[in-house]
Amino acid sequence: MNGVIAGISYRALLGRRRIWLLILLPLVLVAMATLLNLIGAADERTAVTLMRTFAIGTMLPLLGLIAGTGVIAPEIDDGTIIHLLAKPISRPVIAQTKFAVAASMLALFAAVPTFVAAYLLVNLESGIAYGFALGALVGGIAYAAVFMLLGVLTRHAVTIGIVYALVWEGVVGNFVPGARRFSIQQWAQSIADQVSSSPFFSTEITLGFAVPALLIVTVGAVVWSGQRLRGFSLTGDE
């Protein structure tokens, strides 16, 4: 971790219009929970559905994409990353710092609102709020790492990331049973399921698979990002 790099990364991430994207989705989530509460539809089944499909299924990958690519891709794009790379600091440390910034963003903008929304609907009933908040946290951390790696690997990180988040995680992960094993949001759900005792919520991926998978993906993506940064090349405009 490097404090100076973290500081610059936070300012770059929060200072631009990107901040509104980070705020918008959690706002929608909390607004939906409030609305369901007002019309009296706030039961456990609704809560689980909202958490699964929107909080974990839609908001989490999109926020992961915004924060994960956002900590590094724009800087690579416009060349400002050189300011950090041309310093006697190991590149893996730079990657780890960027990852920590992205992960903290997801804790703040994904895990906390998930908890708030679930709490608004069903208080702490059946451990739904704690479960999904934890799921969003670990899933968000994994997404942060994966999308940061994507931002380091390709200049088309956002496009590829959207396709991945919507097609793979959204469609394939929901309809193709085999693919579910390789979906971050499914792993996040099995973490949530461990904490929650709700009868309306069950997942098919075991914790024994989800936890190592999350660890390997997260650590692997951060390490790979660091290695890629070590070989970062400026291909001249000429």
Partner 1 sequence: MRIELAQVSRWYGNVVAVNDITMTVGPGVTGLLGPNGAGKSTLLHMMAGFLAPSGGTVTLDGDRIWRNHQIYRSIGLVPEREAVYGFLTGWQFVLSSAKLHRLPDPEDAAGKALALVEMESAKDRRIETYSKGMRQRVKVAAALVHDPQVLLLDEPFNGMDPRQRLHLMDLVATMGAAGKTILFSSHILEEVERVAQHIEVLVAGRHAASGDFREIRRRMTDRPHLFRVRSSDDRRLASALIADASSGAVSLTETGLEVQAVDFRRFTRLLPRVARDADVRVWQVSPADEDLESVFSYLINRSS
Site residues (vs partner 1, CB under 8 A): 2, 4-5, 7-8, 11-12, 15, 78-80, 82-91, 230-238
The least CB distance from residue 2 to partner 1, in Å, is: 7
The least CB distance from residue 154 to partner 1, in Å, is: 17
Question: In the complex with partner 1, which residue's Cβ is closer, 177 or 231?
Answer: 231
The least CB distance from residue 225 to partner 1, in Å, is: 15
The least CB distance from residue 126 to partner 1, in Å, is: 45
Question: In the complex with partner 1, which residue's Cβ is closer, 45 or 230?
Answer: 230
Question: In the complex with partner 1, which residue's Cβ is closer, 8 or 211?
Answer: 8
Question: In the complex with partner 1, which residue's Cβ is closer, 15 or 177?
Answer: 15
The least CB distance from residue 77 to partner 1, in Å, is: 9
The least CB distance from residue 108 to partner 1, in Å, is: 20
Question: In the complex with partner 1, which residue's Cβ is closer, 181 or 228?
Answer: 228
* DSSP calls for the chain: --HHHHHHHHHHHHHSTHHHHHHHHHHHHHHHHHHHHHTT---HHHHHHIIIIIIIIIIHHHHHHHHHHHTTHHHHHHSTTHHHHSSSS-HHHHHHHHHHHHHHHHIIIIIHHHHHHHHHHHTTGGGHHHHHHHHHHHHHHHHHHHHHHHHHH-TTHHHHHHHIIIIIIIIIHHH-HHHHTT-HHHHHHHHHHHH---TT---SS-HHHHHHHHHHHHHHHHHHHHHHHHT-------
CB atoms within 10 A of CB 12: 17
Question: In the complex with partner 1, which residue's Cβ is closer, 209 or 232?
Answer: 232
